Amino acid sequence: MEPNSTGKSGNSAMFKICGFIVDKRNLFFLIFILLAIFSAFSRNWVNVENSLASYLPQHTETKQGLDLMNEEFVTYGSCTVMIANISYEQAGKIKENLEDIPGVFTVNFDETDKHYNNGSARFDITFDKDEDDDACLISLNEVKQLIEPYDSYLSTTLGDIQSELIAEEMNVISVLVVIVVLTVLLITTQAYAEIPVLLITFGAGAVLQLGSNFIFGTISFVSNSVTIVLQLALSVDYAVIFLNRYKEEHRDKEPREAIITALTKAIPEISGSSLTTVGGLIAMTFMQYKIGPDMGIVLIKAIVLSLISVFLLMPGIIMLFAPLMEKTRHKNFIPDIPFVGKFDYSTRFIISPLFLVAIIVAFFIQNKCPYVFGYSTLHTPIQNRVQIADEMIDDNFGDDNLIALVVPAGNYESEKKLLTRLESCPEVRSCTGLANTEAIGGYTLTDRLSPRQFSELLDMDYEVAQLIYTAYAVNDEDYAKVVNGLPSYRVPLIDMFMFIHEEIDEGYVTLDDDTQETLDNAYKMMNFAKEQLQGENYSRMLVYLNLPEESQATYDFIDKMHEMARDYYGGNIYTVGESVSQLDLKKTFSRDNLVVNIVSILVVLVVLLFTFKSAGMPILLIAVIQGSIWINFSVPSLQKDNIFFLSQLIVSSIQMGANIDYAIVIAGRYTELRESKGRRDSIIETMNASFPTIVTSGTMLAVAGILIGKLTSDGAIYGIGQCLGRGTIISIFITMFVLPQILLVGDTIISKTAFVMNMPIRTREALGLNHVNGIVRGRINGVVTGTMNAIVRGELSAFVEAGNVTPLTEEEAEEQINTLPMKVVDKEKKTGSIGTGTNKKNNDKGEVHGDEK
């Protein structure tokens, strides 16, 4: 029989929609198959951003400096090669071979310990194309082929090597997570055929998630790497809830009717459950550091797509596998745990105050958590080949902490003075700018030469040099120099070379072959330096520090660099580098951390208020989960283990949004049972009923986090996985062994802070024979409040929530009475009220057949 096919219940529209989903399942199968095929192609359209600095707020110095450098300067492709166990003579020959590779502009190698040390040679290779040009990758591959026979290590930012390595690691993690999920589902499901139903649903959501990321254009490598694993762990509850609902309805209904009824009940339940998770993720979108909104939005989309898969695809899959689920039933492997409820009840006055003390202490400890803002001080459990190469190079030749100092262009004298002053600082290893870069003949690029000096430098006729200088002065509109003092007229070497080259190209100047060759070679080197160090409006100086990337001393010296530069240039000074980026991240962290915590708590609080209709319950639940978060981040503080700051921002949001579900499961069940049972029995039954849900979802999320933390080489992803796995375990433990005691002790507070939301009630009127199935409040020959599944003969005047009233014929009534769990046919013994309400016995105006709750 079609549920509510002839009734006038307010839920009829929902039944029709759910019936359409089930009956048109082949249409939805086709849609999902087409979307999956599309996703196979569209997943390759998304761009992955590997730089964390790219997500800094626009007002930060690093972001402004990076944007400025992209506009003003050319950054040529480069790589560093270290070859171990070779002689200096062998290294010299390798350098020559490297220089012969097409596309290689320069290879820096000399006898100093910066390039040859401990039997190892370091080659700093620069290509002749911009780092974004694919031609660099071709040259890089030839470099790899040349050094392959040697004990070599290569470090470069070209290509997408780091992203590829992380993707390989996440593929391994995903396979392991699937194995764990299969194992958990084997234990927690009641039929082996339930597993493919759940896996197909999960897989569809994951495929759609990967295939839809292209709508964002570019996403971070963090979002690209961990979203699928987290999507599985966060959304597993939705499919499990729906499947459990189906199994409940299937006890007395055919599969189609059971699926439709289960779907009408599961949609509001699952949607409500997802709101807390989405609420926690929404908090991430309020971060100034844009990787938070990036990951938050991607994960919210993942949750929504998981809901779509459960609501639209899973009903049809259940219809397909329904016969097989009947045939593959097995015993329940999840035991009852009455001892947990008994322990919780007996320790309620001990655990509750201890937990209060614990979270207060944890709050102060986690405030001292050693957050870091770069990778230099992090030690991941595994290292990829890029990290190994970087570490080998650093061990033999020292690490390079490079800061780019960007100042207004045009004042070579100020630049030279600033470079000299910087080189005198003990914190500086070396620095490079146009004003101290050697050109030819012992001159630097910005040295000012007279016509006589210039002619001697290029072995040029003095008269020719004078003509060139005259042309330069006229072009520069400096006519006084032409008239009064051309012999003493001095022009920066680089400017004169740029001018002559332009004049030669335009045909205004002709030189002999030898001079032309000298000029061409010099111009090539000078232009190479100028494109990197001088733009239209700004000049760039490269400062190599003797300081670590992340330390207060480094941050202090960055401020000192600003002060020195302002002495010569005034304002508009920018510093750019890993250390500057980390300093900017440190400045944004405090604000982001506060905002994320406040927003996540407020959003979840609102959801819980409407869920429990009590002011006390949300506060207790949030206190439990927030306490779990504080305890989680107290661990690295006690261990003095550096943790990447992003872990706190992301994991605290996910832990609040996802782990609160465990608390809701226990609190909701306990509140329901307390209406008819005492505290002790309620908490024992609550823990028995809640344990399967918590152990299923919690195990998957915890294991996913642990595997991410153990099997990745990226510091940010490692921190997220480590903290998420540990935090989920802590949350499970606290919801099982602390939350029940808090509910027991706070029982009175919860009841006294409850409120009623007055909603307009649509009363159903019916006379005759009707099937009532739902939560009923009203009169059936007496006052009735409770959940009914009964056949009623008589007058009905009641509000029916989450159910329906269906008129029946005598034959249909007789058929349904035989299938009801409980039959009450003696009107003299069982008539009147059901559940709580006024009990009227011996009323022969009507009779009720069915469950009484």
pLDDT of 64 reads 92
What is the tens place of the pLDDT at every residue in 363-415?
A: 999 999 999 998 888 888 888 888 888 889 988 888 888 999 999 987 899 99
Query: How confident is residue 11, by pLDDT bands cut at 50, 70 and 90?
Result: low
pLDDT of 823 reads 40
The DSSP-derived string for 150-180 is SEEEEEE-STTHHHHHHHHHHHHHHHHHHHH
How far is it between the farthest Cα atoms of the chain? 131
Dist. CA 98–CA 84, nearest whole Å: 16
* pLDDT over threshold 90, residue 805: no
Kindly state the percentage of the chain with pLDDT values over 90: 35
Average pLDDT of span 552-557:
94
Q: What Å distances lie between residue 198 and 206, 321, 494, CA to CA?
A: 12, 11, 69
Q: Which residues contact 426 (CB under 8 A, 6 or more apart)?
A: 546
Q: Find the angle CA(685)-CA(687)-CA(691) to the nearest 5 degrees.
A: 125
pLDDT of 844 reads 38
Dist. CA 164–CA 784, nearest whole Å: 64
Distance in Å from the first CA to the final CA of the chain: 25
- Highest average pLDDT, of 477-491, 506-520, 560-574, 665-679, comes from 560-574
Strand pairing report for 104-108 and 428-432: unpaired
Dist. CA 716–CA 294, nearest whole Å: 15
- Highest average pLDDT, of 498-512, 603-617, 771-785, 839-853, comes from 603-617
Query: How confident is residue 835, by pLDDT bands cut at 50, 70 and 90?
Result: very low
pLDDT of 560 reads 94
pLDDT of 13 reads 82
pLDDT of 837 reads 37
Q: What Å distances lie between residue 563 and 422, 435, 559, CA to CA?
A: 11, 20, 6
Instruction: Identify whether the C-beta of residue 649 lies closer than 8 Å to the C-beta of residue 287.
Output: yes
Instruction: Identify whether the C-beta of residue 848 lies closer than 8 Å to the C-beta of residue 792.
Output: yes
- Highest average pLDDT, of 631-640, 750-759, 782-791, 843-852, comes from 631-640
Least confident stretch, 476-490, 605-619, 699-713, 810-824: 810-824
Joined tokens for residue 103:
């596309």
What is the tens place of the pLDDT at every residue in 229-272?
A: 778 777 777 888 888 889 888 888 899 999 999 999 888 878 87
Least confident stretch, 288-292, 534-538, 661-665: 661-665
CA atoms within 13 A on the CB side of 601: 16
Average pLDDT of span 134-155:
92
Coil/strand/helix, residue 428? strand
809 vs 143, residue with greater confidence: 143
Query: How confident is residue 141, by pLDDT bands cut at 50, 70 and 90?
Result: very high
Query: How confident is residue 842, by pLDDT bands cut at 50, 70 and 90?
Result: very low
What is the tens place of the pLDDT at every residue in 730-749?
A: 999 999 999 999 989 888 88
pLDDT of 273 reads 74
Joined tokens for residue 185:
């589902």
pLDDT of 821 reads 54
Average pLDDT of span 579-592:
91
Dist. CA 630–CA 363, nearest whole Å: 6
Average pLDDT of span 117-132:
91
Average pLDDT of span 532-553:
92
pLDDT of 354 reads 94
* pLDDT over threshold 50, residue 9: no
Instruction: Identify whether the C-beta of residue 435 lies closer than 8 Å to the C-beta of residue 412.
Output: yes
Question: Which alpha helices (DSSP H) does 754-850 contain, by range?
Answer: 810-817
